[in-house]
Amino acid sequence: MTDFRKELAETASKLATPGKGILAADESTGTIGKKFASINVENTEENRRAYRELLFTTEHLENYISGVILYSETAKQSAKCGTKFIELLKKKGIVSGIKVDQGLKVLPGTNDETATMGLDTLDAMAKEYYGLGCRFAKWRAVLKISTTDGCPSEQAIQENAWGLARYGTICQANGLVPIIEPEILIDGPHSIEVSQKVTERVLASVVKALQENNIFWEGCLLKPNMVTPGSTSGVKATASEIAIRTVTALSRTIPPALVGVFFLSGGQSEEEASVNLNAMNRLEGIRRPWFLSFSYGRALQNTAVKTWAGKAENLAAAQAALLVRAKANGEAQLGKYQG
Ligand code: 13P
């Protein structure tokens, strides 16, 4: 078996370039359909291609973005000029990643909790997309908090932790740096204290499973949620509290050998996602040996997609909107975002 460790470590370090983060543009056809419906754009292959071309051809994107996560369809598409998207991104010095999970299925025996599908075909898929030029991958596991229903259950935590670990080592065996994404949903009325407790519990289980599967930590990235109050709690936490609780949860669970933590935005507003990341990178007094950055989907794209609205004449304005958020988050990675 090829030993990809040197390449994995190099890819992970390149993604963790100071002042940069990851653009998550890997919405499945169904998910991007919802985005398009909100702006009255038909969910056709050409519209999906045109929108992704808009994102990837944004001038100076590479100043703030080190990697882009692609959906399988996008990874095989080209810009109007005929250049494959992966090639176009490579020319800008941006690493392409690939979403390799096949979505969620209800986990029988739980209260509608889920497991992530796709392990059976993962080895072949990883080989194929490495061949196409991808160098990292994403697999999203989802857990929910419901204190009245006992969620997340130990069953769901174990299933998802083990699935993430199996995915992680299969990717590494094929030269792809795995982004380990155990997303604990923001939905619900729970407090920020509960969010922190659950985050620590889930991360500890994920780390144990990764260790038991012999993950190569130096070629591995984490994509967690930030610790926030539940979205229907009626409570707004300050950026400082979110930063303290999130970094505390990480410092109690994540090995220093892991190269980088790239947060998901998970329904935060664009501005909140930038301000909270900035607060973490300015935090003093809590040890944080990892590179802390962003791997945002909605918090990078929301204004851009609305500005585009499917019209060619809005292209430049939409690209400008994307660049505003990319720059803000790049500065937040350095702890220099002014808001
Ligand atoms: P959000 O930043 O919109 O949460 O998406 C990131 C992502 O890739 C979720 O899997």
Q: Which atom of ligand 1 is nearest to the CA of 296?
A: 2
**Residues in contact with 47: Cβ distance below 8 Å, sequence separation at least 6, in sequence order:** 36, 41, 310
**Which atom of ligand 1 sits closest to the CA of residue 140?**
10
Vertex 17 angle, CA 3 and 226, to 5°: 95
Q: What percent of the chain has pLDDT over 90?
A: 99
Q: Reduced to 3 states, what is the DSSP secondary structure of residue 35?
A: helix
pLDDT of residue 293: 99
223 C-alpha to ligand 1 centroid (Å): 9
Report yes or no for ipTM above 0.90: yes
Tell me the CA–centroid distance for residue 266 and ligand 1, in Å. 6
Ligand 1 centre to CA of 26 (Å) is 9
- Is the pLDDT confidence value at 35 over 80? yes
CA angle 74, 79, 82 (to 5 degrees): 115
Return the pLDDT at 339.
Answer: 84
Cα 300 to ligand 1 centre (Å): 10
What is the rounded distance in angstroms from the CA atom of residue 226 to the CA atom of residue 253? Answer: 14
State the CB neighbour count (10 A cutoff) for residue 57.
Answer: 18
CB of 54 shorter than 6 A to ligand 1: no
Of the two residues 339 and 189, the one the predictor is more confident about is 189
For ligand 1, say whether the CB of 266 is within 6 Å of any of its atoms: yes
- The residue whose CA is least distant from atom 8 of ligand 1 is 24
Best residue for ligand 1 mutational test, from 138, 185, 265 (most atoms within 8 Å of Cβ): 265
Judged against a pLDDT cut of 80, whether residue 236 lies above it is answered with: yes
The string of pLDDT tens digits covering residues 144-196 is 999 999 999 999 999 999 999 999 999 999 999 999 999 999 999 999 999 99
Please compute Rg for the chain using Cα positions. Answer: 19
pLDDT score for 2: 85
Q: Determine the Cα–Cα distance for residues 214 and 41; give it in Å rounded to an integer.
A: 45
The percentage of the chain sitting over the pLDDT mark of 70, rounded to a whole number, equals 100
* Closest C-alpha to ligand 1, atom 5: 297
Q: Is 184 in the pocket of ligand 1 (CB under 6 A)?
A: no
How much is the mean pLDDT over the chain?
98
The CA distance from 151 to 111, in Å, is 8
Ligand 1, residues 263, 298, 305, 329: which to mutate, most atoms within 8 A of Cβ? 298
Name the pTM for this structure. Answer: 0.98
Q: Give the pLDDT of residue 316.
A: 98
Give the distance, in angstroms, between the CA of residue 149 and the centroid of all CA atoms in the same chain: 27
Residues annotated catalytic, as ranges: 181, 223
User: Average pLDDT for residues 88-100, to the nearest whole number?
Assistant: 98
In this predicted structure, the answer to whether residue 1 has a pLDDT above a threshold of 80 is: no
Distance 40 CA to ligand 1 centre (A): 22
254-284 residue pLDDT tens:
999 999 999 999 999 999 999 999 999 999 9
Q: What is the pLDDT of residue 114?
A: 98
